[in-house]
Amino acid sequence: MRILVAVKQVPDTATQVKVSADPRVIDTTGITWIISPYDEFAVEEALRIKEKRGQGEVVAVSLGPERVKEALRACLAMGCDRAIHLNDPAWSDADTLVTAKALAAVVRQEAPQLLLCGRQAIDDDMGAVAAQLAELLGWPCAYWVMEEAIDADTKTVRAARQVEGGLEVFDLPLPAVLTAQKGLNEPRYPTLRGIMGAKKKEIRDVKAADLGWAPEPPQLSVVTLEALPPRPPGRIIQGDVPTAVKELVRSLREEAKAI
């Protein structure tokens, strides 16, 4: 069974993101890049499926500039068998739909039985690519998956997705798209052996032309990025308790509009 995992490289959660001189993009100097955490759950799940079945192939795929190789190498170090890098300036301003179309072209070439993604990337939080991929491919799709089990003859996957207060369980015919929610698993750390082994694995560069890609302008484009205004400082309400409580309730209701 072949499983494709789509991963996005994003700034580390600890990064203080700053808007650059061009207000449509962030300043990337000094940023450490990581695999988006939900995508890491997807990679881990793919590896577990393969390990449980004792056979199969896990392929990591990512769209982005040269630095994305580092994320793909990390996937290989975790245990993915090979990786595909959609690496072409033609995609430099790709929106989610352009990204999904490019990935769909790769999925058609690779013909996996399962496509795993994260429930959303933690940089722009769009959460759209997996659904768009499913639509483009005509595959069923379940988001926010907490548990999955593929049946013995690889015909269907039973997926339990997180809903308010419980789980919602679906049987999806394969091939299908699943997106990983936190709680699906605990991703492994790449070991030194995995890291050394990754050096020998293939990362295939794919250009737009390799997919027969006719450049198309993105339908979404960022107008401007704005930092949140700094949080106003806290206020200590003075006075005796009865007056202070009245003032607290008043400001919670009228100023903070919290009650």
CA distances to 20, 106, 142, 180 from 128, in Å: 25, 18, 12, 13
- Tell me the window of 50-58, 143-151, 183-191, 204-212 that interacts with another protein (CB under 8 A): 183-191
Measured from the CB atom, is 62 or 132 closer to another protein? 62
Of 39, 104, 46, 105, residue with least CA distance to 80: 46
**Interaction between residue 206 and another protein (CB under 8 A):** no
Q: 229-256 in b/e burial notation, b at 16+ Cβ within 10 A?
A: eeeeeeeeeeeeeeeeeeeeeeeeeeee
**Interaction between residue 191 and another protein (CB under 8 A):** yes
- Tell me the window of 3-11, 170-178, 188-196, 222-230 that interacts with another protein (CB under 8 A): 188-196
Measured from the CB atom, is 11 or 190 closer to another protein? 190
Least distance in Å: CB of 73 to another protein?
7
Of 91, 254, 86, 115, residue with least CA distance to 176: 115
Question: In the stretch 52-81, what mask flags binding to another protein with x, by CB under 8 A?
Answer: ------------------x--xx--x----
Choose, by CB under 8 A, the member of 55, 193, 229, 256 that binds another protein: 193
Choose, by CB under 8 A, the member of 190, 201, 204, 251 that binds another protein: 190
- Collect all residues with Cβ–Cβ distance below 8 Å to 65 and sequence separation of at least 6: 87, 92
Least distance in Å: CB of 164 to another protein?
28
**Interaction between residue 202 and another protein (CB under 8 A):** no
Q: How far apart are CA 129 and CA 74, in angstroms?
A: 22
For helices 37-53 and 68-78, what crossing angle results, to 10°?
30
Choose, by CB under 8 A, the member of 192, 223, 256, 258 that binds another protein: 192
Choose, by CB under 8 A, the member of 195, 208, 247, 251 that binds another protein: 195
The reply to whether omega before 229 is within 30° of 0 (cis) is: no
Residue 204 CA from chain centroid, whole number: 20
Least distance in Å: CB of 74 to another protein?
6
CA angle 119, 124, 127 (to 5 degrees): 25
Least distance in Å: CB of 148 to another protein?
24
Question: In the stretch 128-167, what mask flags binding to another protein with x, by CB under 8 A?
Answer: ----------------------------------------
**Interaction between residue 20 and another protein (CB under 8 A):** no
**Long-range contacts at 237-245 (CB < 8 A, ≥ 24 apart):** none
Residues that bind another protein (CB under 8 A): 70, 73-74, 77, 189-193, 195-196, 198-199
